Amino acid sequence: MRIQHSIYPYPVLSVEDEDYTSDSYFNVEYTMAKATPFKNAKIHCVFKLKDAQLETLLADGVLGLYMHVECSRTYFRKLIPVDPVTKMVDVEIDQALMRQKVELTGFLLANEDKDNLKIRNVNPALYGSDYVFPDLEKGDPLAVSFTVDITLSEVESFKKLSSIIKVAKSKDSKQLELNMDSHVVYVYLPEKQYKAYVQSTNYPEIALSMVIFPAVIELLNRVASSGLSELEDYKWYQVLERKIELLGHSIDELKDQRISAIVLAQLILDDPLERSFEEVGELFKNED
């Protein structure tokens, strides 16, 4: 559903449209929260509505805010209800459902049938001074933000590292160990550490730096010291190689020591130390 022009037989509030006077306004602002190995990327959507009567109808539940999300490449479509108080919603980029580009369209829709509606700020020059809307049915739009295309960076939308690195409990080891001899790399933690890792969901970036970061460094060291034929059939190697290429580097640079494993690991994980220290800072703030 691509909305670029107002195409409705009655006044609909939208940007750069004269159906309403300049006192009324409706639009959506978008910001992207980048993906991490633990989280999908998200598009933060903030709805901006300025019209006293429409806002009252929204507060009463007669109207509702909605975000229409569509990815033509995967035939994905979804209409997401938006909190009428905060007027905000996060659209998570599920890589199984969305690829390359998503189209976002914000709506103010009727939640129920509505007769004899009058809105003061309807433009009298276009519709007369005492305009009455035709009988509205549930789902009819009262305001529309024109469709915005969000291009999904291939680096961000590429399969998460969690698809090739799994953390598991060790039966007998007292230290962190790696098993790289399968399509998925297993990071084995001693039982006590594993329990702490599982309980660290509120602090995923700290856990990332403590467990996944050293595991990726070790993986890269293994790649640097091994022949291609030894690793190329493993899924984890294929994903890692593609990730490195998307970052503008290559396995050859790693083998030739033009880039170190520790630097490359930070690039692959999108600067995990910075995010971890930010999380530590938030932890200290909460304690204060």
Please say whether the beta carbons of 107 and 40 come within 8 A: no
- Quick check: 121 pLDDT over 60? yes
Q: Given this model, what pLDDT does residue 159 score?
A: 52
Q: Given this model, what pLDDT does residue 249 score?
A: 95
DSSP-derived secondary structure letter, 161: G
- Quick check: 96 pLDDT over 80? no
Secondary element (H or E) of residue 59? helix 52-59
Strand partners, 178: 187
Predicted confidence band at 36 (pLDDT cuts at 50, 70, 90)?
low
Q: How many residues does the chain have?
A: 288
Mean pLDDT for the stretch of residues 83-102: 88
Predicted confidence band at 111 (pLDDT cuts at 50, 70, 90)?
very high
Please say whether the beta carbons of 66 and 80 come within 8 A: yes
Q: Given this model, what pLDDT does residue 287 score?
A: 66
More confident residue, 161 or 242: 242
Give the three-class secondary structure for 263: helix
- Quick check: 154 pLDDT over 70? no
pTM (two decimals): 0.64
- Quick check: 49 pLDDT over 80? yes
Tens of pLDDT, residue by residue over 180-198, are 999 999 999 999 999 988 8
User: Whole-angstrom Cα distance, residue 176 to residue 63?
Assistant: 55
More confident residue, 156 or 287: 287
Find how far residue 271's CA is from the centre of its chain. 18
Q: Given this model, what pLDDT does residue 140 score?
A: 95
Predicted confidence band at 37 (pLDDT cuts at 50, 70, 90)?
low
Q: Given this model, what pLDDT does residue 157 score?
A: 41
Mean pLDDT for the stretch of residues 225-232: 86
